[in-house]
Chains A and B, each alone.
Chain A
């Protein structure tokens, strides 16, 4: 008797399971018909670049422009960069420096955690009244005459025909000559990879037609990226109109492709 009861229960359970599965299948199937299926389509943000094409295009001349007057120091560019490259803690491919100038014209610079946490509080350690504060995001300058490429003994760091200074991670020995040679201190030796690493202006995103991750993340468009050979691009307009444009450490002769809009004397 008990045995019979148990079998009946088992059958009931099976029936329930069966109905559940059929219902789930029907609902799921009809949803599939309604919802657009397939992989997430990556939308093109930079005209003419598509996935799968050879990324090196000598007809393009990319430039990066950072608007110092626009940066609010939220640090979300640094967060996006850390997410994009899974940068280990304590190392920065891009960072945001805070400049505070007091009324005695002393310049105080700091960048706690590279700006990853933003700048939510004012500096309290400055004895004089503050005259001015601004933020300076830093990243690879993509020099036209890169000193890092010059010093590499094995040809592991190189400049492509379209102006990107990249690192061949297979060939790099980790000798860190380039880390010392870079006037802008953008390079580091990865603690796990043991090879030189630095900002690439998101070369891999560009190959998919996407803008660099930090440009994408900036809520106030203080970071701008584009092709100088494209006369419609914002960077072309900015660099060819009467704007205060400067590069960092011009006396080094590296000829950076990273330009700053409204850069201050205290930074150059």
Chain B
């Protein structure tokens, strides 16, 4: 004869149901305690997290902002071949210069004997290092001897940093030299 397993009180079922319900409630409470308010309303993140990121301070103000207050430089810079060069790569981030519409500090300028490395970062022709059809590349020493100028000349003695060919062009016109052929000469020197 089989033993009777049937319980008359169903206590084991109730105990199981209570345990599951307890775990569920605890889980929901824990989730609510741990998740930030409104989580999931705009995506799987705390609402406002993207605004926190968007409210970071803009430190590089871009050329238009710089040139709005410097009309002379604007005229020079935009007319020359350096029109696409950002002001802030040589002068530092604009936020150090203007804050709340007020002058916050002077910006560094690069000139004289420290200018070479700055120019050559883009224009320095190092053996097969850069695409040759991009911008004009020069090997500093060959460039200076090729133009028969002193070997210790600084770049900005012949080239205005904002409009690099301005003085060169003016000098050519003054002495009646023909302009360079279209596309320049092969910049091997």
Q: Residues of A at under 8 Å CB distance from B? A: 36-43, 45, 55-56, 69-70, 72-76, 79-80, 83-86, 118-122, 130, 132-134, 149, 155-156, 158-161, 164, 166-171, 200, 203-208, 210-211, 213, 216-217, 219-221
Inter-chain contact count A-B, CB under 8 Å? 160
0/1 string, B30-46, CB within 8 A of A gives 1: 00000110010011111
B101–A80 CB distance below 8 A: no
Number of chain B interface residues as a range? 35 or more
Not counting A73-B130, A133-B128, A133-B129, a sample of 9 additional A-B residue pairs whose C-beta atoms are within 8 angstroms of each other reads: A40-B94, A41-B68, A42-B58, A69-B131, A83-B93, A84-B60, A207-B55, A216-B63, A217-B88
Does A74 contact B122, Cβ atoms closer than 8 Å?
yes
**Which of B39, B46, B60, B124 has the largest number of chain A CB atoms within 10 A?**
B60
> Hey, which chain A residues are within 8 Å of B178, CB to CB?
none
Could you tell me if A42 and B52 are in contact, using CB atoms closer than 8 angstroms? no
Contact at B100–A80, with CB atoms within 8 Å?
A: no
- Pairwise interchain contact B135-A40, C-beta atoms closer than 8 A: no
- The answer for the CA separation of A147 and B74 in the assembled complex, in Å, is 45
Query: When the two chains form their complex, are residues A155 and B46 in contact, meaning their CB atoms are under 8 A apart?
Result: yes
- Select one of A69, A121, A166 contacting B53, CB under 8 A: A166
B128–A40 CB distance below 8 A? no
Q: A76-B86, A120-B124 are in contact. Are A210 and B129 (CB under 8 A)?
A: no
Check B62–A166 contact: CB distance below 8 A. no
Is there contact, CB below 8 Å, between A203 and B54?
yes
The 6 closest A-B pairs by CB, nearest first: A43-B64, A158-B45, A204-B56, A39-B101, A168-B49, A207-B54
The residue that A219 contacts in the complex, of B51, B53, B85, with Cβ under 8 A, is B85
Q: Is B2 among interface residues, defined by CB-CB distance under 8 A?
A: no
**B98 close to chain A: CB less than 8 A:** yes
Instruction: Let me know if B111 is at the binding interface, CB within 8 A.
Output: no
Q: Would you call B126 and A121 a contact (CB within 8 A)?
A: yes
User: Can you report 20 residue pairs joining A to B where beta carbons are below 8 Å apart?
Assistant: A40-B94, A41-B65, A42-B62, A56-B50, A72-B122, A72-B134, A74-B122, A76-B89, A84-B60, A120-B126, A122-B128, A134-B131, A161-B43, A168-B45, A170-B46, A170-B52, A216-B62, A216-B88, A219-B85, A221-B84
A113 to chain B, nearest CB (A): 13
User: B91-107 vs A: 1/0 string, CB under 8 Å?
Assistant: 01110001011000000
- Pairwise interchain contact B60-A171, C-beta atoms closer than 8 A: no
B61 at the interface (CB under 8 A from A): yes
How far is B6's CA from A196's CA once the two chains are assembled, in angstroms?
Answer: 59
| A43 to B122 Cα, complex, angstroms | 27
Q: How far is the CB of A31 from chain B (nearest CB, A)?
A: 13
Residues of B within 8 A of A133 (CB): 128-130
Q: Is B69 touching A40 in the complex (CB atoms < 8 A)?
A: yes
A155 cross-chain contacts in B, Cβ below 8 A? 35, 39, 44-46
Binary interface encoding of chain B residues 121-154 relative to chain A, with 1 for a CB under 8 A from any of its CBs, else 0? 1101011111100110000000000000000000
Residue of B with least CB distance to A45: B62
Determine whether the beta carbon of A42 is less than 8 Å from that of B61. yes
Q: Is B115 an interface residue (CB 8 A)?
A: no
- B117 within 8 A of partner (CB): yes
Determine the distance from Cα of A136 to Cα of B125 in the docked complex, in whole angstroms: 18
In the complex formed, the residue of B with least CB distance to A56 is B50
Q: A42-B58, A84-B60, A210-B58 are in contact. Are A160 and B50 (CB under 8 A)?
A: yes
- Asked whether, in the complex, the Cβ of A38 is within 8 Å of the Cβ of B43, the reply is no
Cβ-closest chain B residue relative to A82: B93
Assess whether A55 is in contact with B50, with CB atoms less than 8 Å apart: yes
Complex CA distance for A211 and B63, rounded to whole angstroms = 11
Asked if residues B50 and A166 are in contact (CB atoms below 8 Å), the reply is yes
Assembled-state Cα–Cα distance A149/B45 (Å): 10
With A72-B131, A204-B56 as contacts: A171 and B46 at CB distance below 8 Å: yes
Distance in angstroms from B29 CB to nearest chain A CB is 18
A69-B131, A219-B85 as given contacts; A42 in contact with B49, CB under 8 Å: no
Contact of A72 among B54, B86, B135 (CB under 8 A): B135
Q: Bound state CA distance, A95 and B105, in angstroms?
A: 29
* Shortest distance from the beta carbon of B35 to any chain A beta carbon, whole Å: 8
CB neighbours (8 Å) of A213 from chain B are 59-60
A76-B101 in contact given A122-B126, A159-B43, A170-B49 (Cβ < 8 Å): no
